[in-house]
Amino acid sequence: MKELRQYIEREMRGPDSYFGVERSADELELLLNTQTDVCRDVADELGAGAKNIYLVGAGGSLANLRPLKQIFDSLLRLPVEVYSGHELVGSAPFGLGSGSLVVLASNSGEVEDTLGALRFARQRGARTVAVVAKPDSTLAREADAVLPFHDWDEPVMVPPLLVGLRLAETVGDVALASELRTGLEAVPAALRRVVPAELARAEERAREFLGCVQLFVLGAGVLAGLAYKLAYNIVMENMRIGAAFIDASEFRHGPCEALERTRPDMLVLVGSDWSRSQTLRTLEACRRGGARTLVYDAADFGEVHPWLTPLVAYPAVEPFIVYSAVLRGIVDLAPRVQMGGGGFYAFEKATP
């Protein structure tokens, strides 16, 4: 038991911990205090006159950007699209050009997919903004502007959101922008309430699902991107079990038939936006069908703006992930077995 505690302490509380659960509130406050003015300047310098916005990333960074599509569609009078790096280059969207603002997110700033998209966007004459944790990275050096965040990567959506809030003053809904600014300021307090509660029950939850070999992760609306990230970039990457994302609002269109012959394990994110009623209907049906469910409900987060719930939901789930990994004997979460190096995929850094 003592050894378990030591591993948990290192992964969630240590200065070099891969999961920054207990740093989440402080990190977000630091970002808001130091980067708000920088984001406003970037919006004024590069966003002025923009005809459209492209949000680009890979893996977890891409998933972190996805909620912005829903937010910006209501906030701005500008078309907004979300692409993976390879997808942007491969599809070569007609609208990408000199009037485009392209926001590219990457923790390391060295991901070949995203670097390729940056170079392609620049060739098309677009203005580019790098959202990175490493401001000396290749992505940061080659972009027109840099919006740094810290090593805890969930606030990836915050710097582009701050840019969007500034743009809304000229090409958007000013009242909604003000509402979201106020909402952002309230998120750290919510994290300080939610995270300790989740830390207290994480081990029990992880032990309940210790025999799980396949976890379906359900979410919809603004939480769909996080559900996708949890399945493909967190559960499989850290717990090393099978996982799949299902849009909770689409569950009845096919996936529900699996309940006839299976009793799946499910992690369900329940939002407080338009998706709530649909997700609750799906959750009820899954329970009737015999599914074992682990639920994280935004209604338990307190006064958090419905569109900002991903900023609280991810730290809420992280303790369960860390305990689940450590209890499976995975005691060092930073190294990867297959990603890069000599594993199944051995990618070299993209060259200019």
Please give the average pLDDT of every successive group of 10 residues along the chain, which has 352 residues. Answer: 69 62 86 93 96 96 94 97 98 97 94 96 98 93 92 78 97 97 96 94 96 97 96 93 97 93 96 97 96 98 96 95 93 66 50 43
CATH 3.40.50.300 at 21-172, yes or no: no
Question: Within 10 Å of residue 279's Cβ, how many Cβ atoms?
Answer: 28
Q: What is the pLDDT of residues 256-282, one digit of tens each?
A: 999 999 999 999 999 999 999 999 999
What's the pLDDT at 22? 74
pLDDT value, residue 352: 42
The residue whose two tokens read 């310098």 is 45
| 294 Cβ contact partners less than 8 Å away, ≥ 6 residues apart | 205, 208, 209, 265, 266, 267, 268, 320
Phi-psi region of 49 (alpha: psi -120 to 50; beta: other; left: phi over 0): left
What pLDDT is stored for residue 295 in this prediction? 98
E strand residue ranges, 213-280: 214-219, 242-247, 265-270
What are the residue boundaries of the structural domains of the chain, listed by start?
2-13+189-327, 21-172
Mean of all residue pLDDT scores within the chain? 91
What's residue 265's pLDDT?
97
Residue range 2-13+189-327 in CATH 3.40.50.10490: yes
Residues composing the chain: 352
3-class DSSP state of 335: coil
- Number of neighbouring beta carbons within 10 Å of residue 143: 24
pLDDT value, residue 338: 64
Identical fold for domains 2-13+189-327 and 21-172, yes or no, is yes
